[in-house]
Structure 1
């Protein structure tokens, strides 16, 4: 009996040993899988952090090359992680003793890091099937748990879809409202749009004239001015070196002449350039305000601002902070000087001397004073007396300062005609005047035919009725071999005949015609 009992116990012992070994093996595999899952979670967190860094790089839009490299490296890491999870069959962890909670965490982690989240691309464990888009593992024994895919992802996707649809509807409604408003107030809306977005000059005023440039304090003006003076001294040193060497000096030679090393010299020169730029940009609004006062004088506002900026640059270079004046007070004169010079030299097609513009300014001032005094438009004699010049000179100055216009300038409603098409050609005779002259010549010939032949010839030669050249009495006498006195008598007799009413009534209608 003992032998039988011993034989019966031995199989049970072997089964227990086998079960213990299998359990130990399962525990080892579970620990390995748990370690791999922990590593995968850490890698997923690193991938999420990398994604955040990539998004920050996209928003900054400053390091495009680094962004492309990091994004490609991120995609490669995510793809490797997904393949590794698929190879290790994370979804089989419940068979090896891993808890359902950890398995679900791995599934959620895989769904977060997978680059292809579709159901078809997911590696399912053996025996798994996909009912209604959810992963379910068949039950193989009573200890095996059931693992399902989390529905939170699909719920989030549905929420995003609904939010996007709602946003599209709201955008469509907003666009329709804007279209209706623009149709009601089309002209004013187009004007605002052109001024704010379509006009580059408007954007220049917005960026450079109002927001980006801040006013400087007195201490900042002094500090920047000293740096600008240092910059000017370095530039002057470069010019001297260029004259001595006969060529442009190198950076090393320039720095050596300044008794500095190349690094310190470059930093000092760059600091001076930055100080000059800041001084100019901080006072650009002063240029705009002064330029607006010189509008409608033949130069556009954009060109006036450019010329005023040149004057501002000159003022920055000439400003001496040790005198105790504000920079804006000093630069105002340079800006006005640049604007007036630009108007003198560029406002007209034909350039006039500068003193004529000064005289015209004095004439306008005199007219304004006389209008206030007499309460009527002043006469030329009054203006000339006040100016101390003659009326002829006053008229000459006014006539010479009139604006020139191009004959090819488009005019008209459709701008399809030129000014030259509406100006009469003075070289051509007026057809009406031409016909009137022809009729007058015919009528004069009819009247002269009522005289004798000699009287008619003498009158034609005396008054140039044939060729337009009038002859003297002596010339006519030589033509007819008679004396001057006889020619005078013939002329007087013919004139008395022509004054008779029955002869000259044909010519009365020409007395009031301007030929």
Structure 2
């Protein structure tokens, strides 16, 4: 990427992006503080200045090249030994990943600069925890930490209902176990895998995770020129919309097509693990007993199948995150 940037050196790019990382939040905060001090309450002024700060930040980090797998191992080892340059390289060269993920969480209660700031903290934590000897790509590992940090900030910022202490404890236990599995597998574990590790029913865990979802008001109006509250537009749950029926059929057809591109053993594992084709969600042990395989072998086949499905979906221009949590 740097070859197209003329005289811009790697060192200059890192220095420039690192400076942008340190100054983004400070720039936005000062802008808002000045507006409040001068009683400039017009949102357009603050929004425009925030946008300018974000544009400057994006311009700074675009010169940071993505690391190759070999470079991730090299600088990951240095960072693990406490080398500041290795740590900085791992952070700066993945700032664009933070921005990409942060954009998915816009309009949920936090401004984009705040989302980026939280995501950057997650990235830094990922660098500190990353073990390059496990053979996983850093971007896959870091994505979980970035999302986790952003989602926690959104939860703290937007939660309107105080949860009971025992619910908070169970949520924290889920997150801790999820992080442990992430370290082992190198990818975000499914709800089924975490439930299995915790020794709890999948349905109970799914119910628990609903407490972690953001709440909203049905009394808010739809559009600035409308007086109608959202509740007036909520349809009966028993009457699906036509476009939903079409979409669901398209998804089912696509899933069948993707599964047929796997070998038979991979198909058998996936349909049982994720409750497809009329199967119930099964644990690794249950699938192993049905297919005459060990738990570890089932896990290996599942990982191979999910990687293959991800490649198939990406080739069709889709995100792997939209199917089975890929």
Please tell me the TM-score bracket, short chain as reference: 0.3 to 0.5
TM-score w.r.t. structure 2 length?
Answer: 0.37
Instruction: Report which structure shows greater RCO (CA 8 Å, sep ≥6).
Output: 2
Of structures 1 and 2, the larger Rg is shown by: 1
TM-score w.r.t. structure 1 length?
Answer: 0.24
